[in-house]
């Protein structure tokens, strides 16, 4: 199996290692090596996403090819991947666009299934912080409403328990991704569709995995 293409977003205090072709598979560390190690550690958990999308998962243990290093920012150091690699400007083929959207949809499914099993009150972090389940779900939806604007999608932020409204937003985001992934970013567009897909899926999975860990759930078929 070919090596997974990865780019490194290098901030002053934190580095993100992100798989270019696998939306949501993106982890951070204090150094480049630590970020790549963390990315490898999450390969089995990301394989669940690939399975749900009907896509052959990367090998385990994965082999990485670092194809780009880009400067991070205060967003990087705060704890979110915010830089856009040059490769994101490449239009996707129709088949690749469908694959990427399927992976984003699978990330949403993982979050929904984890939330259905997680307790309402989650264990606190080492400093006593961290959102409980319902507030975390609402936070994810709030962020998605913001990310959707990158794609020209403008929906009110739905309540986490309004399943029909949540489905409407997700359908609109997936449709916009499908439309835009196959073309170069339009003039005035806030970011490439590849970046939007990766950012949405990263945030969804980051909190799904956090909820899994803090809820005392076993990692999802991770082994």
pLDDT in tens, 33-81: 999 999 999 999 999 999 999 999 887 789 999 999 999 999 999 999 9
Give tens-digit pLDDT for 188-223: 456 789 999 999 999 999 999 999 999 998 775 443
Rounded Cα distance, 62 and 41, in Å: 9
Distance between CA 28 and CA 202 in Å, rounded? Answer: 11
Outline where DSSP puts E strands in the chain. Answer: 4-10, 15-19, 26-29, 64-71
* pTM for the full predicted model: 0.93
Contact 78, 12 (CB under 8 A): no
Cα 193 to Cα 89, 118, 188: the distances in Å are: 8, 31, 13
Lay out the sheet containing 4-10: strands in order across.
26-29, 15-19, 4-10, 64-71
| Mean pLDDT estimate for the chain | 91
User: Domain ranges in the chain?
Assistant: 4-87, 89-214
């Amino acid at each position: 199996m070919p090596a997974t293409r990865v780019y490194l977003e290098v901030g002053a205090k934190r580095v993100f290692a992100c798989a270019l072709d696998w939306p949501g598979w993106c982890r951070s560390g204090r150094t480049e090596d630590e970020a790549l190690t963390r990315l490898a550690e999450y390969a089995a958990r990301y394989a669940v996403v690939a399975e749900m999308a009907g896509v052959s998962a990367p090998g385990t243990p994965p082999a990485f090819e670092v194809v780009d290093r880009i400067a991070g920012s205060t967003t990087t150091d705060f704890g979110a991947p915010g830089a856009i690699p040059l490769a994101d400007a490449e239009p996707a083929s129709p088949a690749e666009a469908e694959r990427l959207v399927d992976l984003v949809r699978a990330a949403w499914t993982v979050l929904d299934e984890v939330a259905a099993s997680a307790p309402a009150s989650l264990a606190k972090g080492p400093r006593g912080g961290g959102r409980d389940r319902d507030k975390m779900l609402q936070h994810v939806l709030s962020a998605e409403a913001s990310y959707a604007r990158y794609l020209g999608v403008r929906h009110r932020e739905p309540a986490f328990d309004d399943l029909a409204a949540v489905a409407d937003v997700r359908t609109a985001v997936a449709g916009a991704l499908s439309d835009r992934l196959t073309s170069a970013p339009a003039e005035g567009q806030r970011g490439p569709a590849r970046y939007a897909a990766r950012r949405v899926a990263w945030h969804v999975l980051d909190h799904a995995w956090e909820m899994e860990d803090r809820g005392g759930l076993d990692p999802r078929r991770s082994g």
